[in-house]
Amino acid sequence: MALVLDLLNRDPRPNIGNPKAESPAALPRHPEKQKRPENPILRKPDWIRVKAPGSPKWAETQKIVKQNSLVTVCEEAGCPNIGECWEKKHATFMIMGDTCTRACAFCNVKTGVPEPLDHEEPRKVAEAVAKLGLEHVVITSVDRDDLADGGAEHFAQVIRAIRAASPGTTIEILTPDFLRKPGALEVVVAARPDVFNHNLETVPGKYLTVRPGARYFHSLRLLQRVKELDSSIFTKSGIMVGLGEERNEVLQLMDDLRSADVDFITIGQYLAPSRKHHAVIRFVTPEEFKSFEAIAYVKGFLMVSSTPLTRSSHHAGEDFARLRAARAAKLG
Ligand code: SF4
């Protein structure tokens, strides 16, 4: 998952104005990060501006999420786009709980031992999708290394439940890497999502510090394998920039994704969830994002989203329509 949080609008003191921040009274969200040194918070540049949440339509979306006891990555990751997305009733559901078995240096999702799976969840998610009347839905999850299949069968059940309740809704999934879970990917692909997204998150040289529990080649191969299993499924992957990567490393990563036949790349600015998370090394300028976009199209991606506020699921519905049109144009 690419879960990026923006605390830069908020009071930098811990627990002030941030309901998801670590409270001294509660268990820390990130016990493994407690002993890390604190990083300075860089002042946000003018080009990172977001719509504040709180409109009536935003509140309606929030009500449906709460009524169905659903978890969203929009809230758990403190996504900066929540005001804009929820206003349009676009929420990204996070299945299999709110606790992750990995501890990536960029991510705000709680780390720990997850609860057992909720077998009612596929029905609940499907009902919420139907109530929201979504044309396109994005489903993601925490990493569930504790489960024998990494949660693959649960993912498949959620896809099937949404298909049954809302046959016209297109389904995009943003999955974990199913590392050391043989056969898991095949189960998910057999449920036939419209878009299979798995984020590389960063360039290979940064994996040990940014995404230590994952393996770059494994993630790349996962995406390639989706296309080998079912070439009709669109594949998508995203990275964050501003973590200290070099421009050439990003261009190499684009080539790697194209070699794996990935259709859609997303590139967005990394924003640090807290001082204990990986530092923002720099803010990449809008011009640099534009340049990445132009290069990615030349390299053959069907779709590219490269802006400071690009997130995996941002504008996913509109982007899916464009993706489909781009494939039709290419084939036609
Ligand atoms: S960009 Fe994705 S995670 Fe962020 S608010 Fe929109 S739907 Fe939610």
What is the number of other CB atoms lying within 10 angstroms of the CB of residue 91? 26
What pLDDT, on a 0 to 100 scale, did the predictor assign at position 35? 81
What pLDDT, on a 0 to 100 scale, did the predictor assign at position 8? 35
CA 131, 119, 201, 42 torsion-angle sign: positive
Q: Within 13 Å and on the Cβ side, how many CA atoms surround 105?
A: 19
DSSP 23-70: PSSSPPS-GGGTTSPPPPPPPPPTT---PPS--HHHHHHHHHHHHTT-
Task: Report the alpha-carbon distance of residue 113 to residue 102 in Å, rounded.
Answer: 10
The structure's pTM equals 0.91
Task: Report the alpha-carbon distance of residue 107 to residue 131 in Å, rounded.
Answer: 30
Q: Within 13 Å and on the Cβ side, how many CA atoms surround 58?
A: 13
Joined tokens for residue 125: 């998610």
**Residue 81 alpha carbon to ligand 1 centre in Å:** 6
Task: Report the alpha-carbon distance of residue 107 to residue 102 in Å, rounded.
Answer: 10
What pLDDT, on a 0 to 100 scale, did the predictor assign at position 25? 53
Which ranges constitute the DSSP H helices of 28-120?
56-67, 73-76, 82-87
What pLDDT, on a 0 to 100 scale, did the predictor assign at position 41? 85
- CA neighbor of 58 nearest in space, from 42, 74, 47: 74
Task: Report the alpha-carbon distance of residue 115 to residue 112 in Å, rounded.
Answer: 10
Q: Within 13 Å and on the Cβ side, how many CA atoms surround 280?
A: 23
Q: List, in sequence order, every residue forming a beta bridge with 197; answer none if it has no partner.
A: 174, 236
Cβ 96 vs Cβ 141: under 8 Å: yes
Closest residue CA from atom 8 of ligand 1:
74
What pLDDT, on a 0 to 100 scale, did the predictor assign at position 148? 97
**Residue 231 alpha carbon to ligand 1 centre in Å:** 27
Q: Is 105 close to ligand 1, i.e. is its CB under 6 Å away?
A: no
The residue written with tokens 């039709």 in the block is 328
Q: How does pLDDT run along the chain (332 residues), one tens digit per residue? A: 444 433 333 333 233 234 444 444 567 888 888 888 899 888 899 999 887 888 999 999 999 999 988 999 999 888 999 999 999 889 999 999 999 999 999 999 999 999 999 999 999 999 999 999 999 999 999 999 999 999 999 999 999 999 999 999 999 999 999 999 999 999 999 999 999 999 999 999 999 999 999 999 999 999 999 999 999 999 999 999 999 999 999 999 999 999 999 999 999 999 999 999 999 999 999 999 999 999 999 999 999 999 999 999 999 999 999 999 999 999 98
Task: Report the alpha-carbon distance of residue 249 to residue 216 in Å, rounded.
Answer: 13
Task: Report the alpha-carbon distance of residue 214 to residue 208 in Å, rounded.
Answer: 8
Q: Is 311 close to ligand 1, i.e. is its CB under 6 Å away?
A: yes
Atom number in ligand 1 closest to CA 313:
2
Joined tokens for residue 73: 């990555």
